Structure 1
Amino acid sequence: MQWNWQTVTWAVVALLLFAAEAMAPGAFMLWLGFAAAAVFVIVLAIPGVPVLAQVAAFVVLSFVSIQVYRTWFRGREPRSDQPALNRRADALVGRVVPLERAIVNGHGRVQIADAYWDVTGPELPAGVAVRIVASRGMSLLVEPAG
């Protein structure tokens, strides 16, 4: 086991990447830090590895570790029990509300709580109950309820 400038450099790079991950978490620098730590172990165990081979190993191990993250860890995040929480229009899909203004030429308006929403759908008179079936930006797509 020999400590030289290359060994110390890879140890410092790994520690800096881990510190960067701790300061700005996002699970990206962590995996680069693992690659740098692996190169540190390789350089520590096998003295005399050329610098170009060390850098190539770091690049390859970085790609491999990021693929490991994307394949096994990224898709395993817990699913929300309220997937439309921050998408207000999507949260309204399925509700039945009366038309506040008749749908003429495909456009009308409904009132939900204290907000007015533009709606698109078939020609219907004011007061008819409609079901919200989709949202497109700030406009709701409706159909007659019933």
Structure 2
Amino acid sequence: MGDLIDIFFTPWGWVGLGLVLLVLEVLAPGTFMLWLGLAALMTAISTGVFGLGLELQLITFAIYSVVAVLIGRSYFRRKPGREPEVTVNAPAARQIGRDVVVVDALEGGKGRVRMDDTTWSASGADAPVGTRLKVVGIEGATLKVAAK
């Protein structure tokens, strides 16, 4: 067991761990293993430069891991165009912005509209049959519609 510890807790052991974590990130992307892999590589550099012992290597890896994850989270929060897709678990939300035609007049704020080959319950301002409207929201299985 002592030989295994002596082999792993060297700069090359940390480089190996860092590369394994980076490969795992490629195989199962989620931008978490990336930061741990970078922390392992930074630990390798610190171990090589300062000759850190076992305890200091583990503490250094822990510190680099926390810092790397925090920096990564901060970066992806600010990066434009990386907003989460809000329609992943709400397929009906993809209908927002689409055009519909009233098939059962909207009276009292309720009626039915046709989109493609499907009719949907709709809510919105009163509108006669044949009126073209736009979907502006979804509430349950009811489309919220408004004038184009």
TM-score by length of 2: 0.71
1:89 maps to what in 2?
Answer: 95
Q: 1:41 to 1:13 in 2, by over 3 A?
A: same
Q: Does 1:121 align with 2:124?
A: yes
Provide the aligned C-alpha RMSD in A.
3.0
Please list the CA deviations of residues 29-50 of structure 1 after superposition, one character each: whole Å capped at 9, or x if unmatched: 1111110111111111222x33
Match of 1:39 among 32, 43, 62: 43
Distance 2:59 2:101 in 1: 65
- Which of 132, 136, 141 lines up with 1:133 in the alignment? 136
Distance in 1 separating the partners of 2:123 and 2:131: 14
> Which residue of 2 is the match for residue 25 of structure 1?
29
Deviations 1:60-105 (A, max 9, x none): 111111222222345325469xx98x7422232xx3x442113356
Q: Do residues 101 (structure 1) and 104 (structure 2) align?
A: yes
Identity of aligned residues (%): 30
Q: 1:26 to 1:51 in 2, by over 3 A?
A: same
What are the ranges of 5 or more consecutive residues in structure 1 without an aligned counterpart?
none
Deviation at 1:132, TM superposition (A): 3.2
What's the secondary structure of 1:27's corresponding residue?
coil
Amino acid at match of 2:103: E
The TM-score, its normalising length taken from structure 1, stands at 0.72
Taking a change above 3 Å as real, the CA distance of residues 42 and 131 of structure 1, as seen in their structure-2 partners, is closer
Return the alpha-carbon distance in structure 1 between the equivalents of residues 131 and 23 of structure 2.
Answer: 60
Aligned length: 135
> What residue ranges of structure 2 are gaps of 5+ in the alignment?
1-5
| Structure-2 separation of matches of 1:69 and 1:57 | 18
